Homo-oligomer: A and B are copies of this chain.
Amino acid sequence: MNYEILETKERITADNDREAANLRQAMQSRGVFFINLMASPGAGKTTLLARTIEALRGEFSIAVMEADVDSDVDAAAISDLGARVIQLHSGGLCHMDADMTARGISAMDLSGVDILFLENIGNLVCPAEFDVGAARRVMLLSVPEGDDKPLKYPLMFQVSDLLLVSKVDTLPVFAFDKEALERNVRSKNDNMSILYLSAKTGEGLDEWLDWLRREVRDFRAAAGKEN
């Protein structure tokens, strides 16, 4: 093992933290509430964003940055809803960092935008390591993935503010124990909020939308105090 790779990574991470802090400040000044949305492949990030955009139409202007290794299927799905969206390709990398995110934001027209989502690359490991300058980190865990995931991917559960357990309409189909999940989450993160929802049936969607409304209100109050 050539330990230089770890040293390089640490140096990059320190640079990243500074750049992320700058980006967070810039978004605060512009009044854009920026959320970093993370999950495994196929956990339902895009579908949740689509339902959220539809439900909050007329209330908030929502823009989305879709990050993927390749393809633009997610950007196409969001664009079909009339929301502002950009597709970012990571060049094979397993995560977005603050610099890549800043370049994505520079390429977007955010005038009038209230909420900006970054749909991060589908991965429970690398995205947890990189602050992209978001005001909040939200993660999805889908029921089919299982209740033991906090034990296997602890950092993702430690850095996220909110856990959305998705696809709860499939709870009867899978051996998924909500109590075991909550015990596993608590062993890694005392403060994480947990909500259960299904973008398919709409169950639990209101609680997520209320969380979002509350966060935007608090964000604006904090921004108002600063300005």
Contact = CB atoms under 8 A, between A and B. Distances in A.
A79 interface: no
A15 interface: yes
A214 interface: no
A70 B184 CA distance: 13
Size category of the A interface is 35 or more
A209 interface: no
Nearest to A90: B125
Interface string A60-89: 000000001111011000000000000000
Interface string A88-125: 00001110000110000000000000000000011111
Interface of A: 1-2, 4-5, 8-9, 11-12, 15, 40-42, 68-71, 73-74, 92-94, 99-100, 121-126, 129, 142, 144-146, 148-149, 151-155, 167, 170, 173
Nearest to A99: B1
Copies in the assembly, this chain: 2
B125 A42 contact: no
Contact of A125 (B5, B11, B94): B94
Contacts of A173: 170, 173
A146 B125 CA distance: 20
Contacts of A100: 1
A75 to B, nearest CB: 11
A122 B69 contact: no
Contact of A69 (B9, B68, B71, B152): B152
Contacts of A99: 1
A152 B9 contact: no
Interface centre among A4, A125, A155, A173 (most CB of B within 10 A): A125
Given A42-B40, A125-B126, A170 B154 contact: no
Given A69-B125, A73-B151, A144-B144, 10 more contacts: A1-B99, A2-B11, A40-B42, A40-B122, A42-B146, A69-B155, A73-B152, A92-B129, A92-B155, A144-B167
Contacts of A145: 40-42
Nearest to A71: B151
Contacts of A122: 40, 124, 152-153
